């Protein structure tokens, strides 16, 4: 299913079940049942054959002869069962974090217990404290997709540091709603199934790519997965709205709205300010700081500088996409009954840093100890990342120095400058990098990688100038088109340009289709293909002729180009003919010599009349040109 | 891989465009140059590739073990060219080291060694200061086994960039190869930093740890393992890793283990390190479930076989309400295991209690049989045979199951099936077959067979069968030999009493009951029985005849005569009279009675033969003509009649007719039988020499023929060699006695005479009478001898023997003896010679 169709399906489902969450759940469950039925039906083929053998074995009259049937049946049944379990297996690991206990954080547990009763949520098995700026509910299945869950509430200490106690109450209420009777069990189950099916779908996609053919199971998964996913996606999103509504009921609508805005702004600040600065420290050497969580707390306690409203506007402008079940800030505000500010409306004030943070209020005296423990659990990953950043910086510096030393005498100046630009980006010298890329584009306007780097640099800053660079890449280089499209997609979603986003999705669908077709066309040459005269310059053809003259045993050669519509990539087909008596083996030797000698700006397939078959040989000769 | 079996199968033909490249064989681990070439897969017969059917590119053929990979030539060539050209194009578009390395890897993957080397030279000159390229090159060289070249490249890479992991890892391998533990440890030091697992693959570190342990540096190995456990906690749950660490800990005897407690993981069990065991466990579990299901299914679906020997369907009502109709013959029905009462209706009304039950374990291993025999009408035979090393051991006698309504056996291998003729066994192996089948032959044969093994059982079977079919005369006859045992005889009489009194009298049945040869003791018993019967029915011709059979020889004719008075055309009375006359040499009278009897029983072979013999004795020519014209002759195809015909024609020199008769009987294909008849013809002519030469030419001449011809040739000693072991028959003993007497060996003659007399004493009353006459000191009169109603040849021998002892009475005996031995078959020649050698008084 294309993105466009998927988006249309999600939109239509959203509209159809907007006020009927129960119906949506039932429909999703029906699709789940359909998925299971289809899957089991296909997987059951082995089991069914095995069961057939087993029945023969069980009812076989001849004494002794039944054993083979029973063993054969057992083998097939076991194989079928294992394959089924493997396909539907949900990988799960217990979440990591510092386990909180009522003794260490009585206020937090009292709050959670009260909220749990209000919401009628299920029992929590643990509350974990991590170093993430996030809160989540993690359900760990103990019996795969059959369930038997352990429920973990995961609270990020930086999140607790950034929010007021009231706001965190809303956050916890939101998470506990996922465990409530309304959509707890079913929602979690569907969520897990979605994950399993997604894994299965990816697996099938890879297999299709490898083998180039679809089997019944693959066909079914390809058909079922996007349809099920659309419904499960809409249900998950509906659950998010419902969780927000519950949170508003528990903590107050204004509090939840403020909490959502604060979360968004803090997230943007952390990504835009704190972490870049932090990793810049790694590039300057030294060891990883041991108090990153304290640094984070300090940063989050500092006032937000958004006098111009750039961050807030960006937060409200972002669109809800189908990449995440969580809706955009504007949609979440709307679902709470509030009106998000339009492009020209006055913005709500930046939430002031809390006087009393939720961390202090709920964790009390244990906060510092817990911060230390949480920091220690995070430290290993942080140290590794720190070392990696350091190494990366060293490499980039060395590379930058080497590139600069190479000077302008290098074989490919554009390539050298592009590399230098990459090094500059890595070392944080963005201005120089941009200048270098512009220099490259001045000399080689079609240098796709420079366009892509510039697009990434500009779009990250929500600069519309990056758009044209990304579009140039999409048109010029099919290998880089996809990352360019994804950059644009994220950009349009961020800036809220829904029309451009829809148009881009259509383009991405087309691109995906073209790339798939082109990849298949570039992978083989056959007599059913269409050919044309090679699109080569005269100098290239002359060079080719000279090269072919030096190939021992070659008498004659024709060059054609395979017609691959919609792809800039070229596939040349060279038909060669040798001296002497006709022989398949002699032809193969000649082909190998020619293939090793010839170099063309594209893929090359060398064949002879005998190895290619008469039809292909005739087509090459008819459409191509004589080059030797 | 092509495969040849006895020179037939598939093989490669031809080798074109060969190339070589360095590498390591996947099969045997050989490091060196591996071959690749184009060839053709062919169907090969007797090592000659005949049918080519696929062009292949052989890859990585090891010169040592010949293991290789094979790819379809056209597809491989296309993929190779497209992949290499695509990689090179990509590199030309983005001429960095990464793309160059990718292109080189593609060339290596397609074994383009020459192309790859050229390309690498180009890259080396272009990126001469790039440590990553040198590290990559060094790694590739190391994989090809070119260690020294690899080291040069890696050294250069490390000079350019000492911390380059891509160079340090292969260098550590080289140092391990050179047993430089310190150097290898130093190379991988960068992996020992905290968090290194998130930056590097720690596989080389584990390899180094194992290598250190093997090389005696257990403490270093443990340090590395400890780091691995800290970095990758999941690896500590892998059984092989844990085992390795435990080994190291055992050697180092360090304090507490570095391994965390073992954790159960379903994912690991199903798809992880324990997946193989899990697959087997699942397979075994499913198989076990299926076997148990089969067990329960068997318990609920037991097959009961029904043998309905009645000619009409039997209705079986099983307790519980189910009704089944068993058609005539064999059928089956299914019931769950348990006890039932089966009510049979239709041909017989009875209730049969049935228990169908086996224990849980034996359901898998045994083949039990439950067989229902309504009315016990079918006779079943149970046979157990054990075969060892391909030879059947002497089997115990088959068990006849007569009258059993329900048979349950725990294991039967051949139900209603024949046992195999041959069994292939390994040395020392033995196999036991259990057969249960329906006996379908004549019961008389079964009883005879069984009587030789177990008389009591045979009698019981016979009685049960007679209950089913009392008129089975053959069966009654078959029992007769069993009645030497008085207890058995009494039991038999008690059983048969109701049938003896049955009316109308079946002469065949009574004759069978009496037996062919009735000993004197039995005669007395039968006299009492028939006198009793005649008291109630004095004018019953059949009873009068039967009474005559058991009467003393002198009274016998009178009883037959009385029977004929009551019923003038009574077949058996005429037959009795005929026998009486024939034994006296009164063939004319005998023939008259026989012709009367044969009017009623024209195809009775016994009577026909006796009539032929009478005719032959009276007038051989007429007999021969009669036999040739006898329309009954060809269809009867009696061997005895054919022998007689051969003898008759031979005696009268009518060889052509003899051949005609002989061929008429034997056909042209039965060569031994033709010779046999030819010999008898010569015997009848008295041409013993030719007869003997014919017998010598026979492949398996019967002993009886040898015996008769040797006697006729005057060689009793040779003849005696052809007697069967044990007591000789009366006629054989008397013949030998006669022959020895003629040969002048009186002692031997006396011995054989006593032996003959002994044999006669164990016979019927007539033979006992004859024995008495032969023992008498004084010569018996001819009339006394004629009183004994024995067969003519025996009486002729007895008369010849008496004539030898009492030459003065020879003239009296001679005519009678000549009449009695008129049929030109043994002992005719002997008897004639005996009388010819008696000097005149």
pLDDT of residue B635: 42
A209: its two tokens: 């790519």
Asked which of A17-26, A262-271, B444-453 is least confident by mean pLDDT, the reply is B444-453
Closest partner residue to A415 (CB to CB) among B95, B196, B266 is: B95
Q: Which residue of A has its CA nearest to B118?
A: A596
For residue B211, pLDDT beyond 90 = yes
Give the pLDDT confidence of B715-742 residue by residue, as tens digits. 888 888 887 766 678 888 989 998 998 8
Helices and strands, counts by H and E, chain A: 25, 9
Mean pLDDT of B396-408: 80
Asked which of A429-433, A598-602, B425-429 is least confident by mean pLDDT, the reply is B425-429
**What does each C-alpha distance from B635 to B329, B595, B605, B632, B664 come to in angstroms?**
34, 19, 11, 6, 10
Q: Tell me what percent of the residues of chain A surpass a pLDDT of 70.
A: 89
Q: Check residues A44 and A133 and name the one with the higher pLDDT.
A: A133
Residues of A in contact with B163 (CB under 8 A): 391, 394
For residue B669, pLDDT beyond 50 = no
**What does each C-alpha distance from B93 to A454, B79, B181, B677 come to in angstroms?**
19, 21, 44, 110
Q: In the predicted model, what is the mean pLDDT of chain B?
A: 83
Asked which of A315-329, A421-435, A538-552, B125-139 is least confident by mean pLDDT, the reply is A315-329
Q: Best-predicted range by mean pLDDT among A49-63, A275-289, A426-440?
A: A426-440
Print burial letters for B447-483: b (CB count within 10 Å at least 16), e (below 16).
bbebbeeebebbbbbbbbbbebebebbbbbbbbbebb
DSSP A408: G
Name A202's Cβ contacts closer than 8 Å, sequence gap at least 6.
Answer: none
Q: Do B114 and A78 touch (CB under 8 A)?
A: no
Between CA A450 and CA A466 the distance in angstroms is 12
Spatial CA neighbour of B429 closest among B384, B394, B386, B388: B388
Closest partner residue to A54 (CB to CB) among B86, B193, B290 is: B290
pLDDT of residue A559: 92
Q: Tell me what percent of the residues of chain B surpass a pLDDT of 90.
A: 19
Name B31's Cβ contacts closer than 8 Å, sequence gap at least 6.
Answer: B22, B23, B24, B25, B145
Mean pLDDT of B395-406: 76
Residues of B in contact with A89 (CB under 8 A): 267, 270-271
Q: Do A74 and B86 touch (CB under 8 A)?
A: no
pLDDT of residue B102: 92
Q: Do A58 and B290 touch (CB under 8 A)?
A: yes
For residue B441, pLDDT beyond 90 = no
Q: In the predicted model, what is the mean pLDDT of chain A?
A: 81
Q: Do B82 and A591 touch (CB under 8 A)?
A: no
Q: Check residues B392 and B18 and name the one with the higher pLDDT.
A: B18
Q: Best-predicted range by mean pLDDT among A27-31, B220-224, B387-391, B630-634?
A: B220-224
Categorize the per-residue pLDDT at B832 as very low, low, confident or very high, splitting at 50, 70 and 90. confident
For residue A26, pLDDT beyond 70 = yes
Q: Where are the beta strands (DSSP E) in B257-311?
A: 302-308
B494: its two tokens: 């008690």
Residues of B in contact with A584 (CB under 8 A): 55
**What does each C-alpha distance from B489 to B521, B525, B774 come to in angstroms?**
12, 11, 31
Between CA A58 and CA A44 the distance in angstroms is 19
Q: Which residue of A has its CA nearest to B413?
A: A63
Categorize the per-residue pLDDT at B574 as very low, low, confident or very high, splitting at 50, 70 and 90. very high
Closest partner residue to A611 (CB to CB) among B74, B271, B301 is: B74
Asked which of A248-262, A540-554, B372-386, B633-647 is least confident by mean pLDDT, the reply is B633-647
Q: Check residues B247 and B697 and name the one with the higher pLDDT.
A: B247
Between CA A499 and CA A492 the distance in angstroms is 9
A512: its two tokens: 């995906």
pLDDT of residue A403: 65
Name B117's Cβ contacts closer than 8 Å, sequence gap at least 6.
Answer: none
Q: Do A398 and B161 touch (CB under 8 A)?
A: yes
| Residue B397: count of CB within 10 angstroms of its CB | 13
Q: Which residue has the tokens 């780091």?
A: B227
B517: its two tokens: 């040869």
Asked which of A327-331, B458-462, B793-797 is least confident by mean pLDDT, the reply is B458-462
**Interior angle at CA B515, CA B511 and CA B516, nearest 5:** 95
For residue B788, pLDDT beyond 70 = yes
Give the pLDDT confidence of A136-158 residue by residue, as tens digits. 888 777 666 566 678 888 999 89
Residues of A in contact with B292 (CB under 8 A): none
Give the pLDDT confidence of B276-320 residue by residue, as tens digits. 888 888 889 988 998 888 888 888 888 899 998 777 788 999 887
Between CA A14 and CA A322 the distance in angstroms is 12
pLDDT of residue B500: 79
Give the pLDDT confidence of B622-643 residue by residue, as tens digits. 777 777 676 655 444 566 776 7
pLDDT of residue A287: 79
pLDDT of residue A189: 66
| Residue B11: count of CB within 10 angstroms of its CB | 18
pLDDT of residue B213: 92
The answer to whether the bond into B129 is cis (omega within 30° of 0) is no
The interface predicted TM-score (ipTM) is 0.74
For residue B668, pLDDT beyond 60 = no
Mean pLDDT of B353-378: 85
Interface with A, mutate which of B100, B118, B189, B195 (most A CBs under 10 A): B195
Residues of A in contact with B161 (CB under 8 A): 398
CA distance A140 to chain B (A): 13
For residue B416, pLDDT beyond 70 = yes
Q: Check residues B677 and A13 and name the one with the higher pLDDT.
A: A13
Mean pLDDT of B160-177: 90
Q: Cβ distance B244 to B210 under 8 Å? A: yes
Phi, psi of A121 (to 5 degrees): -85, 165
Categorize the per-residue pLDDT at B183 as very low, low, confident or very high, splitting at 50, 70 and 90. very high
For residue B447, pLDDT beyond 70 = yes
pTM for the full predicted model:
0.59
Phi, psi of B284 (to 5 degrees): -65, -40
Mean pLDDT of B762-775: 87
pLDDT of residue A575: 92
The backbone region for B546, taken as left when phi is positive above 0, alpha when psi lies in -120 to 50, beta otherwise, is alpha
pLDDT of residue A212: 44
B533: its two tokens: 């019967």
For residue A303, pLDDT beyond 60 = yes
DSSP A373: H
- H/E stretch holding B21 reads strand B8-24
pLDDT of residue B634: 47
Q: Cβ distance B24 to B30 under 8 Å? A: yes
A95: its two tokens: 């979440």
Q: Do A74 and B163 touch (CB under 8 A)?
A: no
pLDDT of residue B103: 92
**Interior angle at CA B430, CA B429 and CA B435, nearest 5:** 150
**What angle in degrees, to the nearest 10, is found between the helix axes of B218-231 and B203-214?**
160
Categorize the per-residue pLDDT at A426 as very low, low, confident or very high, splitting at 50, 70 and 90. confident
Give the pLDDT confidence of A237-254 residue by residue, as tens digits. 888 888 888 888 888 888
Asked which of A89-93, B498-502, B723-727 is least confident by mean pLDDT, the reply is A89-93
For residue B349, pLDDT beyond 70 = yes
**What angle in degrees, to the nearest 10, is found between the helix axes of A465-476 and A448-460?**
150
Give the pLDDT confidence of B504-521 residue by residue, as tens digits. 888 877 887 777 677 777
Give SS3 for B42. Answer: strand
Q: Do A522 and B86 touch (CB under 8 A)?
A: yes
CA distance B286 to chain A (A): 5
B535: its two tokens: 């008291």
For residue B693, pLDDT beyond 50 = yes
Name B439's Cβ contacts closer than 8 Å, sequence gap at least 6.
Answer: B378, B379, B380, B381, B400, B446
Asked which of A126-130, B347-351, B374-378, B565-569 is least confident by mean pLDDT, the reply is B374-378
CB neighbour class for B707 (10 Å; exposed up to 12, middle 13-18, buried from 19): buried
Interface with B, mutate which of A58, A88, A601 (most B CBs under 10 A): A58
Residues of B in contact with A400 (CB under 8 A): none
Give SS3 for B68. Answer: coil
For residue B266, pLDDT beyond 80 = no
For residue A132, pLDDT beyond 90 = no
Q: Tell me what percent of the residues of chain A surpass a pLDDT of 90.
A: 4
A411: its two tokens: 């074989």
Categorize the per-residue pLDDT at A92 as very low, low, confident or very high, splitting at 50, 70 and 90. low
């Amino acid at each position: 299913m294309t993105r466009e169709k998927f988006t249309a399906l999600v939109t239509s489902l959203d509209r159809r079940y907007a006020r009927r969450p129960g119906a949506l759940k039932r429909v999703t469950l029906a699709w789940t049942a359909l998925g299971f039925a289809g899957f089991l039906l296909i997987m059951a083929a082995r089991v069914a054959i095995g069961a057939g053998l087993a029945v023969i074995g069980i009812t076989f009259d001849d004494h002794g002869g039944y054993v083979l049937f029973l063993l054969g049946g057992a083998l097939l049944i076991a194989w079928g069962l294992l394959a089924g379990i493997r396909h539907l297996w949900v990988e799960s690991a217990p979440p990591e974090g510092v386990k909180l206990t009522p003794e260490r954080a009585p206020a937090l547990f009292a709050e959670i217990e009260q909220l749990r009763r209000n919401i009628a949520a299920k029992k929590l098995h643990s509350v974990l404290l991590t170093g993430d700026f996030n809160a989540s509910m993690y359900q760990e299945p103990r019996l795969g997709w059959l369930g038997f869950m352990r429920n973990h509430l995961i609270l990020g200490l930086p999140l607790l540091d950034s929010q007021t106690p009231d706001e965190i109450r809303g956050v916890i209420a939101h998470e506990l709603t996922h465990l409530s009777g309304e959509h707890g069990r079913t929602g979690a189950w569907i969520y897990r199934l979605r994950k399993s099916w997604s894994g299965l779908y990816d697996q099938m996609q890879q297999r299709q790519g490898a083998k180039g053919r679809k089997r019944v199971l693959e066909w079914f998964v390809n058909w079922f997965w996007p349809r099920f996913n659309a419904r499960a996606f809409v249900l998950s999103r509906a659950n998010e709205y419902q969780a927000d509504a519950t949170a508003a009921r528990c903590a107050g609508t204004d509090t939840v709205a403020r909490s959502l805005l604060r979360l968004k702004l803090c997230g943007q600040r952390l990504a835009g300010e704190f972490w870049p600065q932090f990793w810049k420290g790694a590039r300057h050497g030294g060891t990883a700081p041991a108090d990153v969580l304290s640094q984070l707390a300090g940063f989050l306690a500092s006032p937000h500088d958004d006098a111009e409203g750039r961050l807030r506007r960006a937060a409200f402008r972002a669109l809800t996409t189908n990449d995440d079940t969580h809706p955009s800030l504007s949609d979440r505000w709307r679902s709470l009954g509030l009106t998000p500010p339009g492009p020209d409306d006055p913005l709500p004030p930046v939430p002031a840093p809390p006087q009393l943070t939720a961390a202090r209020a709920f964790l009390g005296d244990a906060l510092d100890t817990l911060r230390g423990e949480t920091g220690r659990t995070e430290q290993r990953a942080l140290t590794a990342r720190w070392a990696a950043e350091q190494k990366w910086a060293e490499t980039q510096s060395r590379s930058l120095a080497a590139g600069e030393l190479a000077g302008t005498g290098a074989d490919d100046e554009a390539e050298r400058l592009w590399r230098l630009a990459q090094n500059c980006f890595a070392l944080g010298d963005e201005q120089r990098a941009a200048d270098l890329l512009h220099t490259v584009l001045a000399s080689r306007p079609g240098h796709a990688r420079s366009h892509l780097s510039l697009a990434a640099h500009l779009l990250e800053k929500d600069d519309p100038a990056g758009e044209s660079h990304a579009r140039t890449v999409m048109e010029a280089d099919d290998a880089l088109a996809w990352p360019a499209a994804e950059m644009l997609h994220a950009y349009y979603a961020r800036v809220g340009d829904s029309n451009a986003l829809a148009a881009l999705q259509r383009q991405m669908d087309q691109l995906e289709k073209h790339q798939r077709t082109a990849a298949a066309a570039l992978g083989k040459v056959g007599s059913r293909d269409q050919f044309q005269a090679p699109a080569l310059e005269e100098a290239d053809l002359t060079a080719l002729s000279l090269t072919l003259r030096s190939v021992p045993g070659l008498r004659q050669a024709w060059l054609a180009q395979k017609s691959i519509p919609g792809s800039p990539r070229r596939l040349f087909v060279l038909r060669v003919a040798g001296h002497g008596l006709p022989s398949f083996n002699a032809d193969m030797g000649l082909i190998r010599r020619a293939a090793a000698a010839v170099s063309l700006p594209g893929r090359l397939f060398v064949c002879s009349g005998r190895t290619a078959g008469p039809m292909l040989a005739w087509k090459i000769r008819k459409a191509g040109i004589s080059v030797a | 891989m092509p495969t040849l079996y006895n020179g037939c199968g598939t093989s490669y033909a031809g080798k074109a465009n060969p190339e070589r490249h360095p590498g390591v064989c996947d099969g045997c681990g050989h490091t060196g140059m591996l071959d690749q070439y184009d060839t053709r897969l062919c169907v090969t017969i007797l090592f000659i590739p005949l049918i080519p059917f696929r062009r292949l590119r052989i890859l990585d053929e090891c010169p040592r073990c010949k293991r290789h990979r094979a790819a379809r030539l056209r597809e491989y060539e296309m993929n190779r060219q497209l992949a290499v050209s695509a990689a090179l194009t990509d590199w030309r578009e983005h001429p960095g080291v990464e793309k160059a390395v990718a292109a080189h890897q593609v060339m290596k993957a397609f074994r383009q060694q020459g192309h790859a080397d050229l390309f690498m030279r180009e890259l080396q000159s272009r990126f001469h200061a790039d440590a990553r390229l040198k590290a990559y090159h060094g790694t590739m060289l190391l994989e090809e086994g070119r260690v020294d070249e690899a080291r040069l490249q890696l050294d250069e890479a490390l000079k350019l960039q000492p911390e380059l992991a891509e160079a340090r890892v292969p260098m550590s391998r080289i140092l391990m190869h050179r047993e430089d533990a310190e150097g290898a440890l130093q190379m991988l030091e960068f992996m020992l930093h905290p968090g290194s697992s998130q930056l590097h693959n720690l596989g080389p570190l584990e390899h180094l740890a194992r290598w250190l342990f093997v090389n005696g540096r257990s403490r270093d190995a443990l340090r590395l393992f400890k780091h691995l456990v800290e970095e990758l906690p999941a690896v500590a749950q892998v059984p092989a890793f844990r085992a390795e660490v435990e080994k190291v800990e055992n050697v180092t005897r360090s304090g507490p283990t570095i391994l965390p407690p073992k954790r159960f993981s379903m994912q690991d069990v199903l798809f992880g390190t324990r997946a193989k065991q899990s697959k087997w466990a699942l397979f075994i579990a499913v198989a076990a479930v299926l076997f148990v299901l089969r067990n329960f299914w068997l318990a609920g679906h037991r097959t009961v076989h029904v043998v309905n020997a009645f000619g009409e369907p039997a209705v079986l009502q099983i307790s519980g309400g189910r009704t089944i109709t068993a058609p005539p013959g064999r059928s089956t029905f299914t019931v769950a295991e348990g006890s039932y009462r089966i009510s049979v209706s239709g041909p017989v009304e009875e209730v049969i209690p049935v228990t169908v039950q086996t224990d849980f374990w034996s359901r898998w291993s045994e083949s039990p049989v439950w067989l229902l025999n309504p009315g016990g009408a079918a006779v079943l035979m149970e046979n157990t045979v054990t075969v060892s090393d391909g030879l059947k051991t002497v089997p115990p006698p088959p068990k006849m199951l007569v009258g059993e309504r329900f048979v349950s056996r725990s294991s039967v291998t051949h139900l209603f099936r024949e046992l195999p003729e041959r069994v292939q066994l390994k040395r020392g192996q033995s196999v036991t077959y259990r057969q249960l089948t329906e006996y379908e032959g004549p019961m008389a044969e079964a009883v005879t067979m069984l009587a030789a093994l177990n008389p009591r059982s045979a009698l019981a079977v016979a009685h049960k069968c007679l209950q089913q079919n009392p008129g089975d005369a053959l069966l009654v006859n078959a029992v007769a030999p069993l009645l030497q045992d008085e207890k058995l005889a009494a039991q038999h009489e008690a059983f048969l009493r109701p049938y003896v009194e049955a009316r109308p009298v079946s002469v065949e049945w009574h004759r069978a009951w009496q037996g062919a040869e009735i000993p004197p003791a039995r005669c007395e018993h039968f006299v009492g029985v028939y006198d009793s019967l005649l008291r109630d029915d004095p004018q019953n011709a059949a009873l009068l005849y039967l009474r005559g059979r058991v009467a003393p020889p002198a009274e016998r004719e009178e009883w037959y005569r009385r029977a004929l008075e009551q019923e003038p055309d009574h077949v058996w009375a005429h037959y009795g009279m005929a026998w009486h006359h024939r034994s006296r040499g009164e063939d004319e009278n005998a023939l008259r009675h026989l012709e009367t009897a044969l009017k009623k029983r024209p195809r009775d072979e016994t009577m026909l033969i006796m009539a032929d013999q009478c005719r032959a004795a009276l007038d051989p020519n007429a007999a021969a003509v009669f036999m040739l014209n006898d329309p009954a002759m060809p269809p009867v195809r009696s061997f005895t009649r054919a022998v007689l015909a051969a003898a008759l024609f031979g005696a009268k020199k009518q060889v052509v007719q003899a051949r005609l008769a002989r061929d008429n009987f034997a056909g042209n294909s039965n060569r031994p039988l033709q010779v046999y008849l030819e010999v008898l013809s010569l015997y009848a002519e008295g041409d013993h020499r030719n007869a003997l030469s014919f017998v010598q030419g026979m492949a398996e001449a019967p002993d009886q023929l040898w015996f008769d011809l040797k006697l006729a040739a005057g060689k009793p000693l040779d003849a005696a060699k052809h007697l069967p072991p044990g007591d000789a028959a009366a006629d054989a003993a008397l013949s030998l006695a006669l022959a020895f007497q003629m040969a002048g060996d009186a002692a031997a003659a006396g011995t054989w005479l006593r032996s003959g007399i002994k044999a006669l004493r164990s016979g019927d009353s007539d033979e006992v009478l004859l024995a008495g006459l032969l023992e008498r000191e004084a010569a018996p009169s001819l009339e006394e001898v004629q009183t004994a109603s024995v067969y003519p040849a025996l009486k002729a021998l007895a008369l010849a023997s008496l004539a030898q002892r009492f030459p003065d009475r020879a003239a009296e005996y001679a005519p009678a003896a000549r009449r009695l031995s008129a049929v030109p078959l043994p002992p005719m020649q002997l008897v004639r010679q005996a009388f010819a050698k008696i000097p005149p008084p």
